Structure 1
């Protein structure tokens, strides 16, 4: 019996690592930008920090246009674009083309998983794809990156293996390949079938109601940590002036009208302890990958525009509504001075 097909938008670190982990139960097709197909042809090699092993991934195909798979049926689409790219002209065009594929009758039951961050990014996906909310799910990937001198290979690693990798990855908690904000339980259940390997489940469920709050607060913390230089988390926590500024900005965000009474109540509950729990445990659990250095490479460079834009959009919304948000404004100012 043939495997179900999955379309993955983007063949970078997230796309390859997610595709590798579901390839036992799905045939993966990668959609890449025109002219980029040769760079992503199989095989690719993925190094696992946790297992100190190198895996070959060759059972996939690469396309440059959705027209190449017209008429084919896909169980789901995994869109790996970051929030800034997803809203760009080219990113929007790509998402729209995927929406056209999903409107074909054979894909009536297909759904979309995305991991882009941004204020109202879900609405952008819904309107651009032209699908119902019940077909869209937000997930957060494991930690994956291309080889870079910014993230040194750990002393404990087999450097001969790691040096051959096209992608290196680690999990921020045991066995966690993808965290799903469980806003659509029926879709989560379908997705879990693809991530179940020999009885081990690679999906970690997070309460769906937390999604509107967790994402902007996480972006706030990453931007503030970037301002501090992405050193060890305890160093960031010890920067009392910046840390307290971030906590005040956290309260300002939760008090926005969009978050209603729930946000207002959370602003009294979500404080220092919660802020520490958002990232500090990952620093320990991601080892031997250096979590701070990973964030310096990823959130300090690759997706820095995504993170900052989200905070800028939050500030703009607040100020248009007559809210003064001095702490958030100061953090954005400091972040802007980094580039």
Structure 2
């Protein structure tokens, strides 16, 4: 980070340089700076560690002083309420967000070698980070605090390089929460190519039923009930066919690296939390 970072983009096989940035390794120094936005990128489990909690308190102090807007990109059951409690921020300062731009360090050699294009591999090896932004939008945010969502989306979209889309709070929850069911099914099936997926097999049938159960949680409301009523095994598979549409980036291989190894335990915990939450007499807690 002491020099400009070289970024490789799978979308157009380009290599660019990211410069003129400041990085801070001592969170306490954040308090002395004013920011329009703070985007939290830590996963939910890391955020809830002792170190993560200290960071959240510092972020809260910083944002309170300067009325900074916060986009919380961490996924966990009840994470927004938890974050507001630890940070001391107002609910009209913080919204949930989801990153759909896929990025990874080029030191992740297996992902680099999975690329199906020699020119891509050559350029990736020259970069520090590689990314793919080919899914119609690079970020989703909810409208829990409309002023925050509108301001952030306007800034993000002004880049002309990627898109930020605003969804309802319920809509974003319904988009994110059921995802982990299929990811764990893929892990059980050892991450097959989509063309080789057996949608009539027992594992995929179980995944389809599991996704329906998550969709029908009370927090997802009527839209969740409707989505569950029309879901089929084939339909669930079609949601993941994008993995075949972004070559030379091997999206399924990335998922195997990320969800099959790095955050697999967290994915399992998410589903356990959903099950615990659904067993409550009143399932009104925000799953995000």
Is the TM value for this pair above 0.5? yes
How far apart are 1:150 and its partner, in Å? 2.0
User: Secondary structure, in 3 states, of the residue corresponding to 2:130?
Assistant: strand
Residue of structure 2 in register with 1:10 after alignment: none
Q: Deviations over 1:120-177 (max 9, x none)?
A: 1222222122212222222222010112232123325343321021111001424x33
Aligned 1:162-311 pairs, distance under 5 A: 162-174=124-136, 176-197=137-158, 199=160, 202-238=163-199, 240-259=201-220, 263-272=224-233, 274-280=235-241, 282-311=242-271
How far apart are 1:311 and its partner, in Å? 0.5
How far apart are 1:253 and its partner, in Å? 2.4
How far apart are 1:312 and its partner, in Å? 1.1
Aligned 1:47-86 pairs, distance under 5 A: 47-86=8-47
How far apart are 1:265 and its partner, in Å? 4.3
Partners of 2:19 and 2:195 in 1: CA distance = 41
Residues 1:117 and 2:75 are matched in the alignment: yes
Residues 1:127 and 2:85 are matched in the alignment: yes
Q: Deviations over 1:262-300 (max 9, x none)?
A: 5444432344465234332x3144322111001011111
State the aligned residue count: 279
Partners of 2:221 and 2:156 in 1: CA distance = 35
How far apart are 1:261 and its partner, in Å? 5.2
Residues 1:146 and 2:105 are matched in the alignment: yes
Partners of 2:73 and 2:271 in 1: CA distance = 17
Partners of 1:322 and 1:180 in 2: CA distance = 26
TM-score (structure 1 length as normaliser): 0.74
TM-score (structure 2 length as normaliser): 0.85
Q: Could you list the runs of 5+ residues in structure 1 that have no partner in the other structure?
A: 1-39, 324-339
> Residues 321 and 224 (structure 1 numbering): CA distance in 2 closer, same or farther, change over 3 Å?
farther
How far apart are 1:99 and its partner, in Å? 0.7
> Residues 233 and 92 (structure 1 numbering): CA distance in 2 closer, same or farther, change over 3 Å?
farther
Residue of structure 2 in register with 1:327 after alignment: none
How far apart are 1:70 and its partner, in Å? 2.7
Partners of 1:82 and 1:178 in 2: CA distance = 16
Structure 1 vs Structure 2 CA RMSD: 2.6
> Residues 273 and 180 (structure 1 numbering): CA distance in 2 closer, same or farther, change over 3 Å?
farther
> Residues 227 and 172 (structure 1 numbering): CA distance in 2 closer, same or farther, change over 3 Å?
farther
Q: Deviations over 1:21-56 (max 9, x none)?
A: xxxxxxxxxxxxxxxxxxx33321111011111111
Partners of 2:47 and 2:109 in 1: CA distance = 28
How far apart are 1:319 and its partner, in Å? 4.3
Q: Deviations over 1:241-269 (max 9, x none)?
A: 11110111123223444445554444323
- Give structure 1 regions of 4+ aligned residues with deviation exceeding 6 angstroms: none
